[in-house]
Amino acid sequence: MATVTVPANTSVFLLDIEGTTTPITFVKDILFPYIREHLEEYLSDHWEEDECKQDVHLLKKQSEEDLRQHRACPVACASQSGQTDEEKAIREVVEGVLWQMAADRKTTALKQLQGHMWRAAYATGRIQGEVYPDVVPAIRAWRQRGMKIYIYSSGSVEAQKLLFGYSIEGDLLDLFDGHFDTNVGAKVESQSYVRIAERIGVQPQDIMFLTDVTREAKAAEEAGLSVAVVMRPGNMELTDEERSHYTTVTSFGQIA
């Protein structure tokens, strides 16, 4: 395992999550199935709570909007005998949410409910954030040498904090100096990396960005950051050209 030389001026590591600190399958195989499998139970348990009522209200408004725009919507559930009004109402919400998820909708209503369900699942230990075993030791070593560590992920800052706050290795939030999400801009736009450098208060050249996605690496490089592409099991394969252009690592341990 060859060691990668970090440019001497580097004072900040900026880390992607999916495919970099965390298996790319975590979201697809753990987080989203959790919603599908526990939706009805969650709604039943929290139905009378204000937060859940607001989530349901927002989902209903979304359904109405979808109907107006003639998007297909499957809320016509046959009521079953012996079903209470509440059970029927919950069933309708479940059908609507499953439909939105199957259609890969990214509505605020859907995201808000998912966020609340994940928060509860992490807090009760039903979900734990995955991190590769080389990640924490490497970050600790970097920090000992005075490096600052930031996260930049398309998942919301709140979702990032849940993943690392309730990880398989415990609460890791102390390892990070800050978090960025797409509020600072898209990860494939170089301007986002310029903004991140400004927010941190360093020059772009002082930051080393680690990601699995070469389009993100390219944008960061254009902004002046140094970049290493992280190759993990299940990540997109790099082309030969990309392999020769980018510094690549298979473990954070290579970045010494």
Stretch that binds Mg ion, among 5-13, 16-24, 182-190, 191-199 (CB under 5 A): 16-24
- Give me the least distance between CB of 66 and Mg ion, in Å please: 30
Chosen residue from 12, 13, 14, 18 binding Mg ion by CB under 5 A: 18
Stretch that binds Mg ion, among 13-21, 36-44, 70-78, 187-195 (CB under 5 A): 13-21
Q: Which residue is nearest to Mg ion (CB)?
A: 19
Q: Are the C-beta atoms of 235 and 22 separated by less than 8 Å?
A: no
Among candidate residues 233, 230, 205, the one with its CA nearest the CA of residue 220 = 205
Nearer to Mg ion, 77 or 238 (CB): 238
Q: Using CB atoms within 10 A of its CB, is residue 37 exposed (0-12), middle (13-18) or buried (19+)?
A: exposed
Cα three-residue angle 21-22-26, rounded to 5 degrees: 165
Backbone angles phi, psi at 77, to 5 degrees: -90, 135
Residue 16 interacting with Mg ion (CB under 5 A): yes
Residues 6+ apart with CB under 8 A from 235: 19, 24, 212
Tell me the two tokens of residue 218: 């390219």
- Give me the least distance between CB of 31 and Mg ion, in Å please: 14
Stretch that binds Mg ion, among 12-20, 78-86, 111-119, 156-164 (CB under 5 A): 12-20
Tell me the two tokens of residue 238: 């790099």
Total number of residues binding Mg ion (CB under 5 A)?
Answer: 4
Nearer to Mg ion, 16 or 206 (CB): 16
Stretch that binds Mg ion, among 8-16, 79-87, 167-175, 246-254 (CB under 5 A): 8-16
Residue 19 interacting with Mg ion (CB under 5 A): yes
Q: Are the C-beta atoms of 57 and 47 separated by less than 8 Å?
A: no
Q: Are the C-beta atoms of 150 and 177 separated by less than 8 Å?
A: yes
186-225: contacts with Mg ion (CB under 5 A): 212
- Give me the least distance between CB of 212 and Mg ion, in Å please: 4
Binding site for Mg ion (CB under 5 A): 16, 18-19, 212
